[in-house]
């Protein structure tokens, strides 16, 4: 031995080879460490999992509570939502949602209100494309008090949820060898299944106050997954989706002339996860025809983010965009970048038939 080796056509000394081997070993063990940390993080995230949720909770009525089905002025309402979160440093969450609901007035009494609706949620997270798809059907009914100035209602929704993951997109420790990562090497992982589904449901109540023409107020409560369905890729694991409890309140106050402000509060509790959102959305009415209103708002989510919102309403279409400014412990990584969220709400109202004015012909006496 002359103390030299040939590696990929290059001569290196034995001491250099030992150093490179040590470096490869350190990298190898580091990858195991990071993979272990990620797996521990995923385990913790599963233990304290939280549902799909949006910063624009005021633009996701059916996700907030099934009691909101049919709770709008009009006949049909269509809602689209999109949110991308943590894209500044990882492929974290991409969330899409849509809903359609129908509102019917005077079903049993002159001032009651009822509705039917459907909501679809879709979320994709991480490099493994962990996906969540949820389809829910629901109905709600409001009974009037004080000639319709107070409405008390309740709603129920039920449907199916499905989860899946693309394991071929994941990297595992067994696939890291001394030469680096080998995607063709067996991962050594045994997956019982890569997808599963379950029945899901939600219930909610809501109260609407319309005591004056220049202000209204609403407050409600809802619970999702009250039966806590089984949620796990391993059939032997007793992992359940915890119930999610929501309390929400909003108002609409005419401050002056064409300026309105809507203070809002939203609270969500799911196992050990607790969230509070508070803020206000201002509206300046511009023109009853064409560009009807301009929106701007500011919200805060406790110990997590500040949220800026802006938008417009053109005819029966309202478009809002908001940006989350990260204020949590991830600020050092995210540099304050959170995510962009978009919402589009379209309300259709049937044209009211023209009423012929009352006409009475006077009798002719001549």
The reported pLDDT for the residue numbered 166 is: 81
Q: Which helix (H) or strand (E) holds 263?
A: strand 259-270
Complete domains list, the chain, with CATH: 48-348 (2.40.160.60)
- In 3D space, the residue among 137, 138, 197 whose CA is nearest the CA of residue 163 turns out to be 197
Region 160-188: what's the mean pLDDT?
79
**For residue 47, pLDDT beyond 50:** no
The reported pLDDT for the residue numbered 237 is: 67
- In 3D space, the residue among 205, 253, 245 whose CA is nearest the CA of residue 226 turns out to be 245
Better-predicted residue by pLDDT, 281 or 179: 281
- Out of 236-240, 249-253, 345-349, 355-359, pick the least confident: 355-359
**For residue 63, pLDDT beyond 50:** yes
CB 67 within 8 A of CB 205: yes
Region 142-161: what's the mean pLDDT?
95
Better-predicted residue by pLDDT, 45 or 262: 262
Better-predicted residue by pLDDT, 301 or 78: 78
For the chain, give the percent of residues with pLDDT over 70. Answer: 76
The reported pLDDT for the residue numbered 346 is: 98
Name the 3-class secondary structure at 21: helix
The reported pLDDT for the residue numbered 363 is: 63
Better-predicted residue by pLDDT, 74 or 84: 74
**For residue 55, pLDDT beyond 70:** yes
pLDDT (tens digit, 9 = 90+) per residue, 109-128? 989 999 999 999 999 887 77
**For residue 358, pLDDT beyond 80:** no
Written as six digits, the tokens of 212 are 């004056």
- Whole-model pTM? 0.78
CB 125 within 8 A of CB 140: no
Confidence band, pLDDT 50/70/90 cuts, at residue 183: confident
- In 3D space, the residue among 310, 317, 313, 300 whose CA is nearest the CA of residue 340 turns out to be 310
- Out of 293-302, 305-314, 335-344, pick the least confident: 335-344
Measured at the CA of 31, the angle between CA 25 and CA 32, to 5 degrees, comes to 90
Region 314-327: what's the mean pLDDT?
92
pLDDT (tens digit, 9 = 90+) per residue, 95-104? 999 999 999 9
**For residue 39, pLDDT beyond 50:** no
- Average pLDDT of the chain to the nearest whole number: 81
């Amino acid at each position: 031995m002359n103390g030299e080796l040939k590696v990929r056509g290059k001569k290196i000394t034995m001491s250099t080879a030992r150093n490179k081997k040590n470096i490869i070993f350190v990298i190898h063990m580091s990858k195991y460490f990071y993979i272990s940390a990620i797996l521990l993080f995923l385990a913790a995230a599963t233990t304290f999992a939280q549902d799909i949720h949006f910063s624009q909770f005021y633009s996701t009525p059916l996700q907030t509570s099934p009691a909101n089905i049919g709770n709008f002025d009009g006949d049909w309402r269509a809602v689209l939502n999109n949110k991308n979160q943590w894209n500044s440093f990882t492929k974290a969450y991409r969330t899409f949602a849509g809903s359609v609901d129908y509102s019917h007035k005077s079903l049993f009494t002159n001032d009651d209100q009822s509705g039917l609706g459907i909501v679809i949620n879709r979320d994709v997270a991480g490099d493994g494309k962990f996906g969540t798809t949820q389809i829910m059907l629901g109905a709600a009914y409001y009974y009037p008090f004080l000639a319709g100035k107070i409405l008390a209602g309740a709603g129920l929704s039920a449907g199916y949820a499905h989860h899946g993951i693309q394991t071929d997109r994941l990297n595992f420790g067994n696939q890291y060898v001394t030469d680096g990562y080998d995607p063709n090497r067996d991962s050594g992982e045994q997956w019982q299944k890569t997808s599963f589904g379950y029945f899901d449901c939600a219930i909610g109540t809501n109260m609407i106050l319309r005591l004056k023409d220049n202000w209204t107020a609403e407050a409600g409560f809802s619970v999702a997954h009250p039966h806590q369905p089984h949620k796990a890729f391993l059939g032997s694991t007793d992992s359940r989706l915890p119930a999610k409890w929501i309390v929400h309140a909003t108002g609409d106050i005419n401050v002056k002339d064409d300026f309105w402000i809507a203070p809002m509060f939203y609270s969500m509790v799911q196992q050990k996860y607790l969230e509070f959102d508070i803020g206000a959305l201002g509206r300046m009415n511009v023109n009853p025809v064409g560009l009807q209103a301009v929106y701007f708002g500011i919200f805060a989510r406790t110990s997590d983010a500040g949220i800026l919102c802006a938008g417009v309403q053109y005819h029966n279409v309202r478009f809002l965009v908001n940006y989350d400014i990260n204020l949590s412990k991830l600020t050092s990584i995210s540099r304050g970048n959170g995510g962009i969220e978009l919402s589009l709400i379209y309300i259709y109202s049937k044209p009211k038939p023209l009423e012929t004015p009352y006409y009475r012909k006077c009798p002719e006496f001549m």
